Every structure is written in structure tokens, then in C-alpha cells.
Chains A and B, each alone.
Chain A
């Protein structure tokens, strides 16, 4: 009885995320409202007040926030199998769509009309990338320090050709150093010992 119930849940998990997946356009932020509604209202898997915390956690882990959130919810509902099934559910549809587009593109890319279409599309893709930068910037640049870090890292990447991973490391380090000096509140200091 119990195992039957579990299979049903896993299947439901898979189908729910499988259906949301094709709407995840542009990294996944677009999907968050839909995902939220599905897991809190429609399926009542997660309490509404918990979802903010889950999103915050999933942002600290590398990868797409949408996929991370789905993995996390999958884990909360069905342990490791739940996490795997939920992740597969969210990844599979976009994988198939992209694979189809790639195969189609490689087959027709030499046609003049396709080249014309892509000459038109490329600037729009550049705009899409810039849009992502602005969207991310609104959340992560909020004082002089973060502004300086963004500008310096851009210069290091473009003109010094520094490896992106090195720049990321510098950013993290700068964050620790700057924040560390900023907050010398003795009430917080015991937290450092836990590290």
C-alpha cells in the first residue's frame, strides 16, 4: 500500500514538473511564479511561507534556480529518489526541445533564408543577454562596493582576458574581506567560530 502510494507521488512529481518545464524561458526566473503556484496552491506540497526560504537556498547553489528549486522540493517530498525524479522531470522536456532545434538548425543552417533569419535574431539574442545582466544587476548591485566589483570584473574579463573562474574567486574573496571588516559587531563574532 505504502509503496503504491509512493510510486504515485513520484509519478505525479515527474508529470507536474515535466509540464512546467517548457515555460522556463531564459534561465528560469520566468518559471518561478508558475512553480510557486503549482507546489503551494495546486498541489499543496509546500507551505507558502517556506517557498521564499527554499528559493533563497537554491540561489546559493550553482546551477539554474528553477532546476535547483525543483530538486529541493523533490527531495523534501520523496528523499533522494524524489529529487532525482523531479530533476529529470524538469530537464527532459527542454532537453528534447533543444536537441530537436539543434538537429534542425544544423540541417538547414546553410540555406540563405536561415542565414537571413539568424542575422536578424543575433542582435535580439545580444539584447536578451544584456537584459539578463540588467535583471541580475538590479538585485545584486546596490552600493558603491558592488558597483565597483561589477565594473572591475568586466574590465578584467574584457581587457585583461582573465579566466572567468579567477574573477569569480576574486569576487567571493572581496566579499569576505569587505563584509568582514564592515561588521565587527561582537554579538555576531561567535558565529565565526562555527565556520
Chain B
């Protein structure tokens, strides 16, 4: 009985530590999430794999679900990762954590640095930072494709997947069809082929 109690207490403390770790990790990500969300995929992946919270394959599920949902993809990923490791409280903690830094920084900017975007130093930083964001997003796309066998693997690329990819990309680039429709259609193609 006593042993059980100790074990329970131990488990509770571990859970607390896990929540704290979740909070700190996503706060850190929140502070550096320049460029909206897609650029944060590699950083979230790095953290999640390093903590051993998910493996690489599970992380591609996170990106798939986060990408097909409304809302910023980084925040959506936080919901998934948080839920996966600590249930609904985990999802709430991770979402709160990734959103808090932006809110604090926006308040600071609104209070003290109203003209921040016109400052020369800030403009210079973003002149170099924005292209890195593009590099990060391309990197995220390539990694995601490798993990899912769209490129790489036994053949240089998977024919059907590449077709779906190129077709979806052209629709997104050249038509005004909503991304959700593209995802829905590719899901139907998936049922028909696999």
C-alpha cells in the first residue's frame, strides 16, 4: 500500500515535469517562430524527436493533420504533440505555450516600439531572415517527402505520389481552388489507388 502511494506520487511528479518540459519547449518555439508556421516544422521536429516524444514517422502524421486543419500549422502541431504525450491537458499546455510569446511580444511592440517595422536595423535583419525562412520551408517539404517515400527510397521517387504532388501544386499555384478541396480530392485518389 505504501509502495503504491510512493509510486503514485512519483508518477504525478513525472507528469508535472513532463508538462513543464512541454511548456518550456513550445514557449521556446513560440519565441523564434518567424515566418508564420511552415518554417517552424523543422524546429518542432528537432525538438520532438530530441525529447523522444514521437518518432519520425509519427511526426509526419502531425504535419499531415496540422496541414489539413484551419489555423497556423505550428500551433496545430503543438495541439497534436501535446495531446499525444499528455492528453487534452497536454494539448492545452502546448497551445498556450506556443501562443504566449507572440502575445507578449505584440504587447511590448504595441506599448513601446510602435514604429519597429520602420527601424533600419529591423529591416536589415529581416532582409536576411526572410530568405532563410524560404530555405526552411523548402527543407521541411523535402524532409516530409523523404519520410513518406515520395522521393528517395528504392526508386528515385514514387510515381503516383509525385503525380499527386505536382498536380496539387499546380492547382494551388494556378487556380483559386481552396486547399481543402485539393486535400479532399487527393484523399479520394488515395482510396482509388491504394
Contacts and interface: CB of A to CB of B under 8 A. Distances in A.
Chain A interface: which size bin? 35 or more
Contact of A24 (B71, B79, B194): B71
Given A65-B36, A126-B144, A76 B110 contact: yes
B38 interface: yes
Contacts of A23: 70
Interface stretch (A2-10, A40-48, A163-171): A163-171
B106 A130 contact: no
Main SS of the interface on chain B? helix
A65 B41 CA distance: 16
A90 B39 CA distance: 21
B90 to A, nearest CB: 11
A175 B194 contact: no
B161 interface: yes
Contact of A129 (B84, B131, B140, B194): B140
B71 A94 contact: yes
Nearest to B92: A95
Interface of B: 30-39, 41-43, 46, 60-61, 63-76, 79-80, 83-84, 88, 91, 95, 99, 101-103, 105-107, 109-110, 114, 116-117, 119-145, 148, 150, 161-166, 168-169, 172-173, 178-180, 182-183, 185-191, 193-194
A125 B144 contact: yes
A153 B136 contact: yes
A171 B131 contact: yes
Contacts, number: 353
Given A64-B75, A71-B106, A72-B106, A154 B194 contact: no
A51 interface: no
Given A27-B36, A94-B75, A171-B129, A129 B31 contact: no
Interface of A: 21-29, 53, 56-68, 71-72, 75-76, 80, 83-84, 87, 91, 93-95, 97-99, 101-103, 105-106, 109, 113, 115-134, 136-137, 139-141, 145-147, 149-154, 156-158, 163-165, 167-168, 170-176, 178-180, 183, 188, 191-192, 195
16 contacts: A27-B37, A27-B73, A57-B109, A60-B109, A64-B72, A64-B102, A71-B106, A102-B80, A120-B164, A128-B168, A128-B182, A136-B38, A146-B130, A164-B43, A168-B129, A195-B121
Contacts of B178: 25
